[in-house]
Amino acid sequence: MGDDKLRHSCDLVLLCYKVYTFISISLALANAISQKKRKRIEECFGWLKDIALLRKLKHRGLFKVGWIFTLAAAAYNLVRLRNLIPIPAAA
């Protein structure tokens, strides 16, 4: 009887350890993915501030600022697209 309780408690501990290990690995993978995505977003906003001059806008108003942001984001997409498309090797 006592041996049976011990076996069940050991099974429970082993199950808890497996679940804890799975959760910790899952969280580590999720954190790594989050950090990669965060880097990409920060890179975009850094480009918009430095190159597209959105750090200090000369325009006021929600409509004008939204329009300038959309234009700058489209320009950034074109720059990224240029880097993503492979250039064919000259023959």
Q: How far is CA 80 from CA 44, 52, 53, 76, in A?
A: 10, 14, 17, 6
Instruction: Tell me what pLDDT residue 58 has.
Output: 84
Tally of domains in the chain? 1
Q: Is residue 90 part of a domain?
A: no
Average pLDDT over residues 60-64: 90
Is the pLDDT at 88 greater than 70? The verdict is yes
Domain of residue 32 covers: 2-84
With beta carbons less than 8 A apart as the criterion, state whether 83 and 58 touch. Answer: no
**Res. 67 pLDDT band, cuts 50 70 90:** very high
Residue 72 forms part of a structural domain = yes
Considering only 14-18, 30-34, 80-84, which range has the smallest mean pLDDT?
14-18
